[in-house]
């Protein structure tokens, strides 16, 4: 190794680390958290059923927008411009790649998976296994620079998810409507707390005093931005829980709790 801890001017220490604490615990927990989401979201996206409750208008966010003729009647809130799809294509395939791109290129998730999955480095004072480092200057990591564009698509998807949640209230009010609403509020909080969003609102300005509206927006987004990590994890959990609730109601495993 000729770079990193193996660079010629670094001290020659053969041990990977001299740390004796449980430095491996945070990367392990991060890996387990991300793996849980990837396995759950993958399984549900390819399941192709139990994503829509017609009686109450509940559509899981993993299948929204559902734009194909394969979608269950009533679940296509924006029509069916696409033909029937083979079973191996997830019905939510229009939005899923962009949402995945949005999360993968998110500044917080980068920090999380660079340390845990990439191990680059896994912790302070722990040598990484890689022999060279090219940062985000080459494929595939150069794609990280497209985060701002994934953010624009994520904004549109948040609007669509909001529409889905609001539409459920036209069928009355049940626990499912509240679950969809809480999920969408948190999704908005995560999306608006994005670092790109903060920069779009208040970046490249020489004088905040000449742009009071952008300054105000930047101030509000900055308050959310400090919670970006918490929102990133919370929304992973609420996405899974929302989908799980819709799946359980749609499959008949549980009944929706109705208030009105
Ligand atoms: Fe995390 Fe943009 S920085 S979503």
CA gap 173, 256 in Å, rounded: 10
pLDDT band at 154 (very low <50, low <70, confident <90, very high): very high
Find residue 170's DSSP bridge partners.
Answer: 172
Determine, yes or no, domain membership for 48: yes
Range of the domain at 243: 24-125+137-251
Band of pLDDT at residue 121, cut at 50, 70 and 90: confident
What is the value of pTM for the model shown?
Answer: 0.93
165 CB within 6 A, ligand 1: no
In a domain, 42, yes or no: yes
Give yes or no for residue 37 CB within 6 A of ligand 1: no
For residue 254, pLDDT over 80 is answered with: yes
Angle at 249 between CA 244 and CA 253, to 5 degrees: 95
Q: Which of 98, 226, 228 to mutate to test the pocket of ligand 1 (most atoms within 8 A of CB)?
A: 228
Instruction: Judge contact between 45 and 96, C-beta under 8 A.
Output: yes
**Separation CA 186–CA 231 (nearest Å):** 7
Residue 3 placed within a domain: no
Question: Of the candidates 86, 62, 42, which has an alpha carbon nearest to the alpha carbon of residue 247?
Answer: 62
- Ligand 1 centroid from CA 106, angstroms: 4
Query: Ligand 1 centroid to 193 CA: how many Å?
Result: 7
Ligand 1 atom closest to the CA of 196, numbered from 1: 2
**Does residue 110 line the site of ligand 1, with CB under 6 A?**
no
Q: Which residues have a Cβ under 8 Å from the Cβ of 82 and sit 6 or more positions away?
A: 67, 68, 69, 94
Q: How many domains does the chain have?
A: 1
């Amino acid at each position: 190794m000729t770079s990193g801890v193996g660079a010629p001017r670094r001290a020659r220490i053969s041990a990977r680390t001299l740390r004796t604490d449980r430095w491996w615990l945070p990367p392990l927990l991060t890996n387990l958290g991300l793996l849980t989401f990837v396995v759950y979201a993958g399984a549900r996206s390819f399941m192709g059923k139990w994503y829509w409750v017609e009686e109450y208008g509940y559509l899981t966010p993993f299948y929204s927008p559902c734009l194909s003729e394969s979608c269950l009647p009533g679940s296509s809130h924006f029509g069916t411009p696409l033909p029937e799809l083979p079973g191996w294509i997830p019905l939510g395939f229009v939005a899923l790649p962009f949402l995945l791109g949005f999360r993968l290129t998110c500044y917080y998730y980068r920090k999380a998976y660079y340390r845990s999955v990439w191990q680059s480095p896994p912790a302070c004072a722990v040598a990484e296994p890689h022999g060279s480092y090219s940062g985000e200057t080459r494929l595939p990591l150069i794609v990280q620079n497209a985060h701002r564009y994934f953010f624009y698509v994520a904004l549109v998807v948040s609007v669509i998810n909001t529409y889905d949640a609001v539409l459920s209230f036209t069928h009355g009010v049940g626990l499912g409507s509240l679950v969809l609403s809480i999920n969408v509020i948190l999704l908005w909080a995560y999306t608006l707390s994005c670092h790109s969003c903060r920069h779009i609102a208040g970046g490249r300005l020489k004088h905040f005093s000449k742009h009071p509206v952008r300054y105000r927006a930047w101030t509000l987004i900055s308050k959310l931005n400090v919670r970006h990590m918490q929102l990133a994890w919370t929304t992973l959990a609420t996405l899974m829980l929302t989908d799980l609730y819709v799946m359980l109601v749609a499959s008949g495993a549980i009944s929706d709790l109705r208030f009105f």
